[in-house]
Amino acid sequence: MAEAELFWGVGALDLDAARQQLHDADTPQNVSFHLDLTAARLGASHVDFLFEIMHQAPAKTFNFAYVFNNRPSSPYFPSARYERDGFSIGLQPTDLAEGCTTLNAWLHNLRRVWEEIDTLFRDDPEFLGIDASVAPLFSGPSSLIHFIKRLGMSFAESCLTDVYLAITDYINTHNPRPVGLCGLMFPCLEDFDLAAEYEAGRFSIERNLYLSLHCGLGIDTYPIGMDEHPQTVLHILRLLQRLSNRYNKTLSARFVSDGQAKIGARTHFGNPYLKDVTIRPLIA
């Protein structure tokens, strides 16, 4: 397998090590890492590092996250953290909803695949388990929001139902070998239908945090303008930290930038995993 097809994760770093990782010319492009801020006294230096990446190596914003109460052994970068030798398996299982007309039909498909994976690997001593997180990607059958709309509701309507809680309850009840995050991801720019909701003003940072608190995993591939105020980011990180610690809940924040687009301008990521959008301010 070519190196460009591999994604490497080095887990949690402190600020000094993260800066070295950022500036080391020998570091492969596809290396992901995170700052664990669960117990940190948050300050300007933590936010300054994000803006340093935005200005000096913006493509790396895709590979970096802040994490709080992070769980080990997830295969999903950049939150992936080593605890012991072995392998875990994660899917992008929204495709299993293709052809399903009810939520229960899709959830049944998820369980069937989890059980098949467990049967295949249960006797392997290096098998750590299944991260049953729902990780949407692109559009059509692989978009979670596309499926939600097929169930007969708009995204805005769905946010005031228990549909996302039902999904995460199922994940945590029926996964035969849970490991890692096991939550619901709302990757703003990786789920292209969600990116359209963002552009229409229906996926504000507040709605993202609301969904994350009761059924999600945090802020994921959320666009940030080059002229966004660092203090706003600091306020968001402090809120995430306190929510995560109060409810002992895994949360993270991954802001992405193309290194040029300011608020009101259109992005040009050049990244097939990210949908280009017109950037909105974090505070509407």
CA distances to 53, 77, 127, 208 from 282, rounded to whole Å, are 18, 24, 40, 11
Flag whether pLDDT at 193 surpasses 60: yes
Q: Is the peptide bond before 141 cis (omega within 30 degrees of 0)?
A: no
**pLDDT score, position 7:** 77
Chain segment 255-277, per-residue pLDDT in tens:
999 999 999 999 999 999 999 99
Flag whether pLDDT at 1 surpasses 80: no
Chain segment 103-152, per-residue pLDDT in tens:
999 999 999 999 999 999 999 999 999 999 999 999 999 999 999 999 99
More confident site: 102 or 22: 102
The full set of domain ranges for the chain reads 3-256
Query: Which regions of the chain does DSSP assign to beta strands (E)?
Result: 8-12, 31-36, 64-68, 87-90, 127-131, 218-223, 251-256
* Mean pLDDT computed over every residue of the chain: 94
Q: How much is the average pLDDT of 14-40?
A: 85
Least confident range of 27-36, 80-89, 187-196, 230-239: 27-36
Regarding the domain delimited by 3-256, which CATH topology (the fold level of the hierarchy) does it fall under?
Anaerobic Ribonucleotide-triphosphate Reductase Large Chain (3.20.70)
Q: How much is the average pLDDT of 223-232?
A: 98
- Report pTM: 0.94
**pLDDT score, position 70:** 97
Taking alpha carbons only, the member of 281, 274, 257 closest to residue 56 is 257
The answer to whether 79 touches 36, Cβ cutoff 8 Å, is no
